[in-house]
Each structure stands twice: as structure tokens, then as C-alpha cells.
Amino acid sequence: MDVSSYLSEVNKQFLTGIAKEHAYRGYLKNLLESILPGVIATNEPKRIDCGSPDYVLTREGKEIPIGYIEAKDIGEPLEGKKHKEQFDRYRDALSNLIITDYLDFHFYREGERTVSIRVAEVKDGKINPLPESFETFTSYIKDFAIFIGQSIKSPEKLAKMMAGKARLLANIIHNALDSDEESSANNDLYAQYEGFRQVLIHDIDTKAFADIYAQTVAYGMFAARLHDPTLPTFSREEAAKLIPTSNPFLRKLFQYIAANDLDDRIVWIVDSLVEVFLATNVAALMEQHGKGTKRHDPVIHFYETFLAEYDPKLRKARGVWYTPEPVVKFIVRAVDGILKTEFGLSEGLADSSKTTIKVDMPVVRGRGKDRATRIEKVEREVHRVQILDPSCGTGTFLAEAVRHIYEDFESMPGIWPQYVRDDLIPRLHGFELLMASYAMAHLKMDMLLRETGYEAKGDQRFNIFLTNALEEHHPDTATLFASWLSDEAQSANYIKRDTPVMVVIGNPPYSGHSANRGKWIASLLTDYKQEPGGGKLKERNSKWLNDDYVKFIRYGQFFVERNHEGVLAYISNNGFLDNPTFRGMRWHLLTTFDKIFVINLHGSVKKKDGNFDENKDENVFDIEQGVSINLFVKTGRKKKGQLAKLFYYSVHGSRKKKYKLLAESALDAFEFKNIDLRSPSYLFTQFETKGQSVYEKGFSLKELFVVQSIGIATARDSFCIKFSENEVKKLVGDFSLMQIEDAREKYQLGKDVRDWKVEWAKADLLKSNIDENKVEKIFYRPFDERYTYYTGNSRGFHCMPRNDVMQHLVSGENIGICFNRRVEENRRFTDVFLFKGIVQLHSLSIKEANSIAPIFVSKEGICGEKIANFNDEIITKISRIIKVPFSLEMSNNKESFSALDVVDYIYSILHSPAYREKYNEFLCSDYPRIPYPDNVNMFWNLVQLGNELRQVHLLESVLLNKAITSYPKVGDNTVTRKILSKDWELYDVDRSLGRIWINDEQYFDQIPLLAWEFYIGGYQPAQKWLKDRTGRVLTRDDIRHYQKIIVALKETDRLMQELDKVWTP
């Protein structure tokens, strides 16, 4: 068939008026095979339905594809949005690709379009050939078929190509599994998914399974090719042979992948992966990879690069971060030293002594008819020093333990192989949830032991298992599956159920929104959700105790407790050291262990502790959370009721400095501080205690306000909160009439989340009858009031509207005071502000969930009797000290004090520079505390200044009517600048005055530097207010409002200085 005949056949179908894309597929196949003798253009509907391109081109007798073609119906757009997601997926994954509508052909190489050619066009209702392009088209097709991918010479390119193909493979597997599920098909691929779900990871869905399967195939092949001695050849079969026998699970998986009966829907993309590796000398490529860092294992370093390319969100969701070598080496050395000094084991980690345990075993009793199998306790001799990494990732900690132990055997290599077989492999255990990491851990262990001179004999496996560590052992599954999947699960069960683990080591994942929600680990966590000494933890929101790293600490503690002795050694998020919510966790750890060593490595991007220069403190990881090395030791010698001794060391500085310290130091070289444990917080940090007893005599804002909560969480601020009433009204009107998916696309609402769904938001609006009276002012940031539609219903238009508190603020007449539980950002305490209306969650700072308390509450909703929202005991004590009675209403003659007087008193205290300076560490660590007044004069002096501050911050003071800035230039008033440091001009250094440019012609002038830099909470209002209006046109009211903000900030500073004149804390 030539091009002219092809177009003639296509035109016949086209003229019927009912032909669709599939009607032309056979003609294109015939054309391609005519132009390309010896080439097969496979067009398999089952493959296509699962996400394969329409045609996969291979040479006769060969498996590896030479090119791919995706065809759309005649006239379908080959550019633009309609098929963009699908086309991008193919362009990222397939290096030699044609996209066509049967008439127009777009050729792509390495993701870039190289040429386009049209062989015909639709005109007057029929297909009109363009014969002048036939010869060129034929030459392009021939050139397409002889394409040989360029050698891949950079790790980044290889990672990108692997990731593209893996994403495509995952998509195809996902579609295939969903198709099988709908049709109840019974094939190998679906059986494997069912096996994973039932035996290994019970809550896995088809998409998650497709992800881990695709990663494992891609990276398993990478690992095999890395050690392939025959570079000119590579195949699925070769990859299977290179998987070590020490990993029976993965070996059988790859034997399935290598088999001739591999699911036809995925075989083409797996072979496409082979094509990538044929163009790559992986060993040479990896030789230089990772140099200049502390990562000397190129395989594992590359896996991190691959995962970041494949799906950064997946990596973040599971908290996957590579542990730097100096950290790993230090922790392993420290554990070795503890075993020697605290437990009297002279060989430390190399110890091969044994102990006897009792395990449940099936035992046959009786004879004949009475013969039966029963489960009985049977004694078994096992090694004493059993080592577990419950989140072993790529096996970094276990491998370092092997290296450390090997150092003791370098002088006697003759005994090493026997020691490995009899006394090392049986003691090393690892659990891993991500299958590609699991595969790498096995490969790493195999390679390492070979390097030391150990040659595996027989089928002894490594005790590294694909399992969810945070699930309790489940009943043995041999009766459910006589398969390699159940073998893996049973082996993991033995570790979880029977093995007397003495050392738990590793770097657990960090993920505040944990994907691990099993009932068993949740039940263990209840110990951490208790107040020190007992009783339910008195926290309104304890969700951070559900972070994965907390679960893994509790998990490791479980093993050591069960063994009655041992060491738990992790590097982890350091948030648990001093966060008030974690006090129950700290208490439980103190009651379990004898000694706790904490090396606080700091490094948080947002939280800077102490007076260290934050610009010079770096994290040992590329993450935002600060970290610490934590060593928990249980010897069993501590008396019942005693708390552990806590030893603390803090190190700030560059990453290089921290690496050097860890690389060169033993545990006993650190000058630990013996921390005095104090109730009720039991902080695991060195804490400034000077003045603490005086500070704690005051009352907490948490104690004072009876009704309070954190602010409103919308889940979609840019959608739910607008700058004007009219914008809200238009949004509500339009959105309520739209289809769900149309609204999701128009407003860019993204995927639904647990507590907010597009459907719920719409239903909530409709239920409210679209009442314009529900359009409310909402205070979004200091001095920044906006508008929203407020129904008060949870999981509605707003995710969490906090109506139990906000109902007292919706009228806009009541005042609310906003404050923080603790300050985690890089700043000192400035965290208090007053608002008049409902308040958003981060109105005071973006890092913390800000608390809001109304000054007055109504007994029965909005129209009920108004009362002060105060703890009567605290008010009574203030009254007794100052000898003045309390009254709900204000008094002009000071014969009584009112609710507003109390607020003004508090407000002045928390704005006192001296108070903030003296008690900064305490103010930043928990709800602010307020000293009781010394006498009546002190009280009224502070009330007066607090009153002035209140009026300034609510923009009610007459002082704000006189502007101190100017807006001198004419223009369109559009904020086009991003309000960065380059947009600020300090033109009068002597008087500290500057101007901020909002566009290239206009600016606000004569802004005092102190106002420009002034902080309220985590924001600088003079900057934040303008920054949030980038792209908007400022109205006259906006300009006047901004000028008032500048006056308010300058007045705040003046009043704060006055406070220090009338009161010294």
C-alpha cells in the first residue's frame, strides 16, 4: 500500500459520515508495514484501552520497540488543552513518537517536536490528498524507524527518562487493574494486586499499587543494568538473573516480568525501559554521581533523584529522605558504644551471644484418631542483639551496621563468611513499605557482603521485608496463600510477633498528615495522648501526635519494652522535644527508659531557637523541619516510678560543621547537659528557667477565656475569601448554579480533601438559600479585612467555620483577641492582635493555627444575654488585688472595672517591650501568661495605654485621620510590583524615611522605616497588605486605608515605648 492508496481507503470511510478513529487504524498499519519491510506495527485494543499508544513498532523477531504512534480522529487537535495530559505523558516517556490525526503527522524525538507534515486535508466534505508531500512523508517514516536513541550521559537525563516511562507504566497498570476489577477478570496482574492488598498492604488501592509496581520495575532494571557485565545486550531475562537469590520475593517478581506470558498490556512499556538501558552505561554514569556530597553510594543517591523526578508528592507523602552518611555512621557507633558501656556487651553490635525465648509453634500430639495439631509455647535459642530498622528505606543503617561490624573482622577474614551466615544475617532485620526502596535495600546488602568477601551459599535470605511496620503481626497466612507473597508476610510476622528486638535504629519518615492509620498503632499512640501522670490529654487538637515519626518512636519503644531492655536510636523531627502537645509522649518515654540522650541538630527553616544567628544554621537534610538524634536506653535497672535521666546537647551551624562533628565524635565526647525535668511540660531541651516561677504565677489566656478556638479554616482561601462584598455575591451566585466538575475547573479547586469537597460547598450554599445577609467581613491578616459567605456549617462552603466561637463575632460589633499557642517561626514574640468580626485561621501568622477568643458571648446564640467570656476565678482574684469590683459595663470614674478594661490590661502587658524581652522564651513556648496587677494604680495605668492601643489597632483612633505618608504620583493605581526589597527605597537615612513603589510610576512616600519593618505576629503589615494586592487596582479607600496602617504602626511603636515608662516587669 502506498500513500495514495492509503488516503483513498481512509476517504471511503470518512465519506460514510459515521467513521471514528478506530475505523482508520488498519489502513495506517498497512501503510506503515508497506513502507517499512520487516517492521510490525502492533495495534492491540486491550493495550490501547489501558493507556498504550495506538501503535507500537517493533522489528520482526525483536521485543524492543523502535517507535510509537498515537492517532486521533481526523480533525482532532494535535496541540492545545484537549489531549495535553495524554500527549505530555507520552512525550515524557517515549523518545521516538508520532502524534497524528491520520492526515497530519507530528514527529517527536526526546520529547521535542522535530517536524510536521500533512499528506492530505479535509475540504468540501472529503479528503483531498497533497501528493507533493508523499515522498517527504515516506522518507520521514523511514527515518523514524531507524532512530537510535543517543547515549545517555547524565544521571539527571536518565532519571527523567526512567521516571517518564515509569509514570506511563503506572498509568497503564492502574487502568488495566481498574478494567479487570470492573470485568471481574482473573489474570496474573490482578492476582498480584489482590495478593498485595490481602497479605501485605491491606489498604492499598489500584493506583498506589501501580505506583510501587512501576517504580520497582524501573529501578530494579536500573540496579540490574548497573551490575551487568554484558553492555551490548540487556533484556528482561538478564534483569531477572541479576536479582540476588537472597531476595526470593523480588526474584520471583522479576521472573514473572521476564516470562513470555507477561501481561501483554504492559510488556511493550517494560521493553521500552530495556531500550533506555541499552543506551546507557549505568556503571560509568554513576561513578561520578554524588561526588561533592556525603553520599558515597551512587545507587541509593540515584534512587532519591529518580523518586523526585517520578513523583515528588509521593516522596513527600511518605516522608522519604536520604540520611547523610555522617549521621548514619554516628548513630551506629553510638549504639555500639551504648551496648558496650550500658549492657556490658564487649563486642557491641558484633555480639553473637544467645538467649532463650518461647514462641508459638504448631505441635502434633496424639496418635491415630486422636492425632491433632495444636499451638504450644516452644523454647527457641536466638541471638540476644537483634537489630531492626522499621523503616529501612534503601538499607542505609543496616548496611552501616555491617560495615562497622566488619571492621572487627578485617584481621581474620577466614572466619567472616561463617560469622555472616550464622551470626550476622539472622540478627539484621528491616521493614520497608516502598517496594523500590525495598529492592534497593536487598541489592545493597548483597553487594556489600560480596565486597567484604562473603559469597552466599544456598538460599539464605536477608531479613528485609516488604511490609507496613506500623501494622501489628496478623494471623499466619499459609492457609490463605501458598505463594511467595504470603511467604514474605509470614516471615515479617515472625519478626513482629516473636523476635526479641534489642536495637531499633533508623530515620523514620516525617509526615504530619500520616498515611498510616492502622488501628494497632493508633491504640499504642493512646499512651502518648495522656497527661503526664495519667488522664486524657487536655488538647483541643492533638493531630501532630499522629505524625509518622511519632508513630515510629512509639513503635520502637514497643519493641524495647517487650524485650525489657534495649536501645532505640533515631534521627527524627525535633518538634517533640519542646512542643507542649507532646508532653504526654515525653512523659511516657521518661517512664519507660533509663537514660535518654538528645543531640539537637536544629536546622528548621521556620523555627529558630536560642540566640544563634539563624542565617548560619543549616539542616543536615534538605528539609524544613529541624531534626535531632535521639538515643533511648532501657537497662531494666531503674526503680519503678523513677523518670529517666535526660542528657541534652545542642549544636547550631553549617551543615558542614555538623557533618564534621558527627563524623569525628563518639557519644562520650559530647558535653551533655543533665536536664532538670519540670512538670507539667517535661521539656527535652535546655530551657531558660530564670524568671519561670514568677512568670508562671500569672494567668494564661487559655485559662482566662472560657470560649475560644482556632480561626476559620476554609480549605480554599482564594475561592472562599474575596476583597469585596460584590465579588463574594457574584461567586456565590455563579458557583451555586454550576456543575461540580465545571466549577472545579473554573475556580481551580483541585482534588477534594477529607473535610472539604466541591459538592459539599455547593450543597451548603443551596441549603442557605443564597442569603446576601450571610456575606460577612472576615479578618484575614492584621489590618486586612475581606469578605466571605458564612453559613457556620462544618464541611460546607468553609471546611471548619468554628461556629461555636464565630457565632459571637459575626455581627461585627464584638471584639476578638487573637493569640498563639506557641511561636515557631524565625522571630520573637509579637503574637497578639484585636479584630472586630470573624477571623481566619492564619490571621496572625502563617505557620501557627491562631487562637481567637471573643470578649463577650451570648448565652443563647446571637440574640441571647451578653456576658463576659472570662473565667470567674481569675476576674475575682484581679478584683481582690485592686480592690475594685468587676462590672460588665465600663465606668468613667474607676469605681468598677469592665471586660474591656481587662482586655486593655492584657493588651498592654503583651505589648510591653520589656515584658516581651524578659519572658520571650516562655511567651513563645505556650499560651501567653499575664501577671496579676501589683496594685490598682499599675492596673489603671496599663489599662489606659491598652485602651489607646486597642483603638489604634481597630482603626478607631482619631490619630489615624492625619496621614503621615503621601501618594504623590498620578497613574492607573495598579500594584504591578511584587513588593520585594528592590521595590523599597530608603531615600532619607537620617530620618529613616522611605518609599514603596507599587508600579513603575507610583509609590507611597515618607514611610517611616520602623513602620515598614514592624511585625505583628508573623507578618509585616506595611509590606504584607500591599504584597497581597499585587495585580489589583487600588481604590481611593484602599489608598486611605494603607495610609492609616502606616500611622497605626508608628503609633503602636510610640505606645509601646510609653508602656516601658509606666511599668517594669
Q: Give the per-residue pLDDT at 957.
A: 97
Position 3 scores a pLDDT of 94
pLDDT tens for 944-954 read 999 999 999 99
Distance in angstroms between the alpha carbons of the first and the last residue of the chain:
96
CB atoms within 10 A of CB 854: 24
Report the alpha-carbon distance of residue 763 to residue 768 in Å, rounded.
Answer: 9
Task: Say whether pLDDT at 200 is over 80.
Answer: no
Q: Do the bridges between strand 67-71 and strand 96-100 make them parallel or antiparallel, or are there none, so unpaired?
A: parallel
Instruction: State how far the Cα of 459 lies from the Cα of 482, in Å rounded to an integer.
Output: 18
Q: Stretch 636-646: mean pLDDT, rounded? A: 92
User: What burial letters (b/e) apply to 125-137, b meaning 16+ CB within 10 Å?
Assistant: eebebeeebbeeb
DSSP assignment of 40-66 = EEE--HHHHHTT--SEEEEETT--S--
Going by C-beta distance under 8 Å and a sequence separation of 6 or more, which residues neighbour residue 994?
Answer: 984, 985, 986, 987, 988, 1007, 1009, 1012
732, 789 Cβ separation under 8 angstroms: yes
Torsion of CA 252, 258, 262, 264, to 10 degrees: 150
Of all residues in the chain, what percent carry a pLDDT higher than 70?
Answer: 91
Confidence of residue 11 (pLDDT cuts 50, 70, 90): very high
More confident residue, 496 or 302: 496
- Predicted confidence at residue 473, as pLDDT, reads 59
Whether pLDDT at 817 is above 80: yes
3-state DSSP percent of the chain in helix, strand and coil, to 5: 45, 20, 40
> Is residue 870 scored above 50 in pLDDT?
yes
Cα Rg of the chain (Å, integer): 34
**1016 CB-near residues (< 8 Å, 6+ apart):** 782, 830, 833, 844
Nearest to 704 by CA among 899, 838, 835, 566: 899
User: Tell me, what's the pLDDT at 294?
Assistant: 45
pLDDT given for residue 825 in this prediction: 55
List 792's β-bridge partners, or say none: none
Residues 6+ apart with CB under 8 A from 506: 389, 390, 391, 392, 397, 552, 569, 570
Confirm if 705 and 869 have CB atoms less than 8 A apart. yes
- Rounded CA-CA distance 324/627 in Å is 13
Q: Given pLDDT bands bounded at 50, 70 and 90, which one contains residue 293?
A: very low
- Alpha carbon 648 to its chain's center: 28
Burial, 18: exposed, middle or buried (Cβ in 10 Å; 0-12, 13-18, 19+)? Answer: exposed
Lowest mean pLDDT among 80-84, 309-313, 822-826, 921-925: 822-826
Q: Which of 212-226, 426-440, 609-623 has the highest mean pLDDT?
A: 426-440
Cβ(105)–Cβ(119) below 8 Å: yes
Give yes or no for residue 186 having a pLDDT over 70: no
Relative to beta strand 501-506, strand 645-650 is: unpaired
How much is the pLDDT for 937?
94
**Torsions phi, psi for 1008 (to 5 deg):** -60, 135
Cα(180)–Cα(177) distance, integer angstroms: 5
pLDDT at res. 606: 62
Q: Give the C-alpha separation, 59 to 834, whole Å.
A: 75
Q: Which three cell numbers stand for residue 880?
A: 481582690
pLDDT of residue 316: 58
Residue 854: name the closest of 898, 796, 809 by CA. 809
Does the pLDDT value for residue 608 go beyond 70? no
Q: Strand 595-602 and strand 645-650: pairing?
A: parallel
C-alpha span between 318 and 1008 (Å, rounded): 47
Asked if 236 contacts 270 with a C-beta cutoff of 8 angstroms, the reply is yes
C-beta of residue 309 within 8 angstroms of C-beta of residue 163? yes
Quick one: pLDDT at residue 240? 85
**Could you tell me which residues are beta bridge partners of residue 997?**
1003
Q: Alpha-carbon distance 854 to 809, whole Å?
A: 7
Question: Among 714, 739, 718, which Cα is nearest to 727's?
Answer: 718
CB 904, CB 1021: distance < 8 Å: no
- Residue-range domain boundaries for the chain: 3-145, 155-317, 325-367+380-505, 508-667, 961-1062
Q: Above 50 in pLDDT, residue 776?
A: yes
pLDDT band, residue 614 (cuts 50/70/90): very low
The pLDDT value given to residue 655: 93
Q: Which of 806, 606, 820, 797 is nearest to 715 (CA)?
A: 797
**Which region among 71-75, 474-478, 567-571 has the lowest average model confidence (pLDDT)?**
474-478
d(CA 93, CA 364): 57
CB of 553 within 8 A of CB of 631?
no
66, 147 in Cβ contact below 8 A?
Answer: yes
Confidence of residue 218 (pLDDT cuts 50, 70, 90): confident
Quote the pTM value.
Answer: 0.69
User: DSSP letter at 818?
Assistant: E
How many angstroms separate the Cα of 156 from the Cα of each of 97, 168, 289, 294?
21, 18, 10, 19
Is the pLDDT score of 922 beyond 50? yes
| pLDDT tens, position by position, 305-348 | 777 778 777 655 554 567 889 999 999 999 999 999 999 999 99
Residue 588 has pLDDT above 80, yes or no: yes
What's phi and psi for 819, nearest 5 deg?
A: -155, 170
Residue 825 vs residues 626, 653, 846, 1018: alpha-carbon distances, Å: 12, 18, 9, 7
Q: Does domain 3-145 have CATH number 3.30.70?
A: no
Phi, psi of 714 (to 5 degrees): -85, -30
User: pLDDT digit string (tens) for 1028-1038?
Assistant: 999 999 999 99
Contact 569, 335 (CB under 8 A): yes
pLDDT on residue 470:
82
Q: Which of 197-206, 281-290, 911-920 has the weakest average pLDDT?
A: 281-290
pLDDT, greater one: 669 or 216: 669
Q: What is the mean pLDDT of the chain?
A: 88
